[in-house]
Structure 1
């Protein structure tokens, strides 16, 4: 075959292939109405175990809009705040396992509080089916801008030299922010004083005002204080540096080997969902999460996009639960403290 003819054939083939790929990408989002012939057959409810306006609520509302576009059915967000998220989780646990009620949540009511409380009316590992991971965020260890501590090693050296002298705030006993700092205390073999507050806002202001020495919280929630020179970031707990705060080192870069921890945002369904229905729900949720508008929303919130399928997310949640169980057992944290 002449070279010119071969080149023309390749051009035609490449153009055809590009067209096929574009059509496949469009179909992945817009052609899910075929699924809607059997599911969903009624409005979908996304239960958020937190008050309106927070990160989980914002993600759920963005997802609701995209799922509604996909399927043509109404999607509502039902905020069920209270009891550390366990009220909202419980509402989904007891919902019919038909895929029309889903949970959009962070770890607390799934992998943290079940190790701290005996009165939770569900068993997350048995009563919920993981559907998919949407995003993650690291914790940022930070101190007041006037603090003498420039690095995590400085702070830990002070804690080791004078046990109990370092005070750290959290949104409350048993929260993820509390336990991630307990993990730091255990790994560094130091004694630090926990000062719980009623919510993330007061806990953050305690560091800004110099009432405590340190806090662990999401990087995006501290960015304004960092930019304003009120707070100094020491290290983040992610496996890589934050895109929001690229100049702050990770814990591993700071000399704390293996110290990687993330808060996550995921979707669950009631256990008992059939394999076929679970696959349908997975397809719909995944298409929404992969949509460019949803990805932009995640990045705008300072979160790290990360998508996992049902099998991967189930293993991820199980490992996360094991990590927090070990921290709770070793630190002897109790909600009656």
Structure 2
């Protein structure tokens, strides 16, 4: 009996160990399924996106479209926290100084990482050192030159002829050092010497002054220009870039009208603070790329005059380096100098 009992007890211990192993495997599988995807479990709490531009601006609205797609993908709140003004310096600096954990992101125009480093000898952030490039989300023609619907000129040649008889025309932008400012100064340098730059905090305020007759010209996002021209509130005089903007296909480019140097394209990019963990970086890049493929985000990008890209960090970095040299040429040609 003792041998039988010992054999039974041994078999019972083996069976118990087997059941325990099965239970542990089932628990581990369930726990793994409960964890957010990504090696680091990111994100485990709300994520903040800081866009370059005020609330209601094209970049702010695009950031909100991304935020909604990321919220759905991650199951975590994604808060949009605009920091307008100072040509994007405030927004970029806030992200540069955020903890490098991936919970604070920047969606911005090239102004913060190309224009500002070229034009300012002192910045509170280092564009190359303080950021992790994530993705170049979209590329576009850049801002277009607009006038009030009642203006006595409808193209660049008519504007140049008018300016000879009416010097000291004013043009509005959404900030000193922006691509709109550079294009305006290039136009002043090459064709209309009397142009006077009037910087505003937002694009919309400049347009309001132009419609009210307090400003002669302004620069506008292509999407805004299309909507305002269709509403009969402004006319588009010219489009920069190498080719016509798809949403303004009837408007000739500067080059088509005989004005060279405006072929540079603008872009929208996403950054995180430098030093984020590689697993978090990869999760952010994949999520941004997936969001860009959604109908909502793609429609939003096209509506503001850009084309979706959503490339990899290495491609983004290479493009930005090439653009730095192109923008430097534009700054030199436009004769723009700034002092801090």
Q: Does 1:169 align with 2:169?
A: no
Give how far 1:196 is off.
0.5
**Partner deviation per Cα, 1:219-252 (whole Å, 9 max, x = no partner):** 2223344224443222111333223222111222
Q: Among residues 192, 196, 199, which one is paired with 2:198 in the alignment?
A: 196
Distance 1:150-1:57 versus aligned 2 partners, 3 A rule: closer
Distance 1:248-1:195 versus aligned 2 partners, 3 A rule: same
Corresponding position of 1:27: none
Corresponding position of 2:41: 38
8 Å Cα contact 1:52-1:79 kept in structure 2 = yes
Q: Distance in 2 between matches of 1:35 and 1:133?
A: 22
Corresponding position of 2:242: 239
Distance 1:336-1:270 versus aligned 2 partners, 3 A rule: closer
Q: Does 1:265 align with 2:268?
A: yes
Distance 1:291-1:333 versus aligned 2 partners, 3 A rule: same
- Two-structure CA RMSD over aligned residues (Å): 2.9
8 Å Cα contact 2:139-2:268 kept in structure 1 = yes
**Partner deviation per Cα, 1:255-285 (whole Å, 9 max, x = no partner):** 3345323332210011223444422221111
Distance 1:208-1:106 versus aligned 2 partners, 3 A rule: same
Q: Does 1:150 align with 2:157?
A: no
Q: More deviation in 246-255 or 35-44?
A: 35-44
In the alignment, structure 1 segments of 5+ residues that lack a partner are 1-31
Corresponding position of 2:119: 116
Corresponding position of 1:256: 259
- Pairs aligned (count): 304
Give how far 1:132 is off.
0.9
8 Å Cα contact 1:163-1:190 kept in structure 2 = no
Q: Distance in 1 between matches of 2:68 and 2:288?
A: 12
**Structure 2 length as normaliser, TM-score?**
0.77
Say which SS state the counterpart of residue 257 (structure 2) adopts. Answer: coil
Corresponding position of 1:26: none
Give how far 1:80 is off.
2.8
Distance 1:73-1:211 versus aligned 2 partners, 3 A rule: closer
Give how far 1:115 is off.
2.6
Corresponding position of 1:85: 88
8 Å Cα contact 1:208-1:230 kept in structure 2 = yes
8 Å Cα contact 2:186-2:333 kept in structure 1 = no
8 Å Cα contact 2:183-2:262 kept in structure 1 = no
Q: More deviation in 276-285 or 119-128?
A: 276-285
Distance 1:87-1:33 versus aligned 2 partners, 3 A rule: same
**Partner deviation per Cα, 1:38-60 (whole Å, 9 max, x = no partner):** 33344322222433222222222
Larger-gyration structure (1/2) = 2
Give how far 1:189 is off.
5.2
8 Å Cα contact 2:111-2:179 kept in structure 1 = yes
**Structure 1 length as normaliser, TM-score?**
0.78
8 Å Cα contact 1:97-1:271 kept in structure 2 = yes
Q: Distance in 1 between matches of 2:82 and 2:210?
A: 30
Q: Distance in 2 between matches of 1:271 and 1:250?
A: 38
